[in-house]
Amino acid sequence: MADTRGTIKGALIGGVIGATAALLLAPKSGRELRSDIRDKYASVQDRTQRMLTDAGHKTQEIAAQVGQTASGIVDKTRSALSAAKEEVQNWKEEQSESKDDKKQSPQMN
């Protein structure tokens, strides 16, 4: 994520610098130059807004997927714990019954 953020930031800064240099080095009148700068600024601002919106939507999608996956893992873990608890309880009952049977067996003779 940090690499992507750095790449986007570098691309935006490079684009702004390149566009500004092209505008300043082109032989135009001051009025035309200011108009071109204003137009380029608006274009960059629109592209940046679209990129931020897309990134926000993508983040929400990923967060939803992570939430669903985590929920599934929690459900499976609960089921496994419940099954293990039941197995331990059954084992304890069997051990208790086995002890009771052993205690009763010598008394019958």
Asked if pLDDT for residue 6 goes beyond 90, the answer is no
Two tokens, residue 48: 């940046």
pLDDT band per the 50, 70, 90 thresholds, residue 65: very high
Q: How far is CA 76 from the centre of its chain?
A: 21
* Percentage of the chain lying above the pLDDT 70 cut: 91
Write out the residue range of the structural domain in which residue 42 sits: 2-108
Q: Count CB neighbours of 61 within 10 A.
A: 10
Residue for token pair 């599934």: 72
The CA-atom distances, in angstroms, between 92 and each of 85, 97, 98 are 11, 9, 10
pTM, two decimals, is 0.48
Q: Are 5 and 30 in contact (CB under 8 A)?
A: no
Does the pLDDT of residue 108 top 70, yes or no? Answer: no
Count of structural domains, the chain = 1
